[in-house]
Amino acid sequence: MLAKSPNGIPAYRRIEGAIRKVIEAGELKPGDVVTSERELARVHDVSLMTARQALVSLEREGVVERRRGVGTFVAAPKIHFNKLMSYTEQMGSRRLTAESKILFAKVIDNEQDATARLSISPKSRVLKLERLRHVAGEPFALETCYLSAEQFSGLLSAPLRTASLFSTLERDYGVELGYSDEEVDATMADPGMAELLGVPKREPLLRIRQVIYSTKGVVILYVLGLYRSDRHNLLIRRYR
Amino acid sequence: MLAKSPNGIPAYRRIEGAIRKVIEAGELKPGDVVTSERELARVHDVSLMTARQALVSLEREGVVERRRGVGTFVAAPKIHFNKLMSYTEQMGSRRLTAESKILFAKVIDNEQDATARLSISPKSRVLKLERLRHVAGEPFALETCYLSAEQFSGLLSAPLRTASLFSTLERDYGVELGYSDEEVDATMADPGMAELLGVPKREPLLRIRQVIYSTKGVVILYVLGLYRSDRHNLLIRRYR
DNA sequence: AAGTGGTCTAGACCACGGC
DNA sequence: CCGTGGTCTAGACCACTTC
């Protein structure tokens, strides 16, 4: 009957956060036992069900693993399979720096394919952003993004060279990115792509067409990416 | 305080099942409202928390969608993204018949790459199964499977031409397939592949290396697949 | 036997959406 | 206003694992 927070962060979220914190601080390593339900309830002065909710939630996210009759343990280092991440984020997670060169950044119209993918009217104006991505000084991908020009007017004046497009959308436009549907196939480099990517023409490239949705299921972004197959591997985990 | 089932199926599972049933029977269509927490609690004679657990669980699995202040609704027809399915199953879900021709099926040794992927000793004997997959009478993929010959002795005498390898493993060997990690890139058809697949040589192909694990995390199968890019599209959904 | 997670009760108040 | 889902209480018993 004490210290509730009806208008603030739910208790179970606070407990989750506290546990996350000690794990991220390295005070608990994978395999280490995590404070039990009853202990958490006592320490945080909540009921068992509430403490439990925190642990169940962490388990669902793969942060901890629970074993009946034994306890709750820090889960193995999580591998980010099937995570929607921007190029900048992907490079960051591998401790590489993202570099990219903007080849094209304008508002255009009459882009039938792009408007269709974005689920907007065919005559809508579209913001097209074409970038050459580098890793370790070597070009490895050609990415073309399309966004609704109406919805993201002013994006072109953002510091796209240095800031991540994802973080700009999330921070400056309040967009919550949720998931993406991707279509993957193989194609051949035409002379233009080949020169940009520094590979022989007719080189096989991985082509990924990515439609990115907000958490509410609204299409935000369409990205067409061409990746050097010798420098890029797509990793997926599937579940039965 | 009535009818508990301490030794049986938990109440919330039974409620889940009941809801699933009416959805699968078509009595509730996507978008339809599902019985509310309070109503479920009353009807099934359980407490609110228990009824709630059933709905939360169904939501996590994507069967229903919950909206605060409004209600719980049947979710949109789920598209099986990121589902580990065999070729036979994939074709079945598109109402196509799977046909395939066995090109090679023998126990061999000294397969360094395969034993490494299978996480077994380099000298272990390995069962290699190479199949040409068809769709609508046209070849479209070349799949080579590797399994531990020790673990799956006798598999070669199974009716591989007609039965799915997945279902044989699951039924006859009691293997519970759990998930797969896949590595995707693009490659070029060499003359041999090109002839088998009926494409020009140097045609770009989608290459998928698939390590399939049991639910317990043990490697069961390694599959190297080469797919005609003009006939195949890999679909992925990623979450943020 | 002691401690853990798994299930469950019979309520409570809050926040939100639609009428 | 009413009904919905979201959070929470202060316990209870069960099943399981370890000692």
Give me the mean pLDDT over the B197-214 stretch.
94
Query: Is A220:A126 a contact under the CB 8 Å cutoff?
Result: no
What are the distances in angstroms from CA B41 to CA A145, B9, B38, B107?
49, 17, 5, 58
Which stretches of chain A score pLDDT less than 50? 1-5
pLDDT value of residue A164: 85
**Is A110 at the interface with chain B, CB within 8 A?**
no
B225 interaction partners in chain A (CB closer than 8 Å): none
Longest CA pairwise span in chain A (Å): 71
Q: What is the pTM of this model?
A: 0.80
Is the C-alpha dihedral spanning A60, A65, A68, A69 positive or negative?
negative
pLDDT value of residue B2: 37
Domain boundaries of chain A, sorted by first residue: 11-74, 79-233
pLDDT value of residue A183: 93
Gap from B50 CA to D12 C1', Å: 15
**Is B72 at the interface with chain A, CB within 8 A?**
no
Is it the case that residue B24 has pLDDT exceeding 60? Answer: yes
Q: What is the mean pLDDT of chain B?
A: 89
Is it the case that residue B164 has pLDDT exceeding 60? Answer: yes
Tell which strand D nucleotides have any atom below 7 Å from a protein Cβ. Answer: 3-18
Q: A91 or B103, which is more confident?
A: B103
Question: Is B57 exposed, middle or buried, given 0-12, 13-18 or 19+ CB atoms closer than 10 A?
Answer: middle
Q: Do domains A11-74 and A79-233 have the same CATH topology?
A: no
Strands (E), B150-203: 177-188
B205 interaction partners in chain A (CB closer than 8 Å): 186, 204
What residues have CB less than 8 Å from A160, skipping those under 6 apart? A102, A105, A129, A168
Closest CA to B125 of B143, B106, B145: B106
What residues have CB less than 8 Å from A181, skipping those under 6 apart? A210, A211, A213, B81, B235, B236, B237
The number of beta carbons lying within 10 Å of the beta carbon of residue B138 is: 11
Q: A162 or B177, which is more confident?
A: B177
Q: What CATH architecture does domain A79-233 belong to?
A: 3-Layer(aba) Sandwich (3.40)
pLDDT value of residue A226: 95
pLDDT value of residue A1: 40
Give me the mean pLDDT over the B93-97 stretch.
78
What does the pLDDT look like over B107-148, one tens digit per residue?
999 999 999 999 999 999 999 999 999 988 889 899 999 999
Could you confirm whether domain A11-74 is CATH 1.10.10.10? yes
Give me the DSSP letters along B21-35. HHHHTTSS-TTPEE-
The minimum CA-CA distance between A88 and chain B, rounded to whole Å, is: 14
A82 interaction partners in chain B (CB closer than 8 Å): 82, 236-239
The number of beta carbons lying within 10 Å of the beta carbon of residue B215 is: 12
SS3 content of chain B, % helix, strand, coil (to 5): 30, 35, 40
pLDDT value of residue A97: 80
What does the pLDDT look like over B49-64, one tens digit per residue?
999 999 999 999 889 9
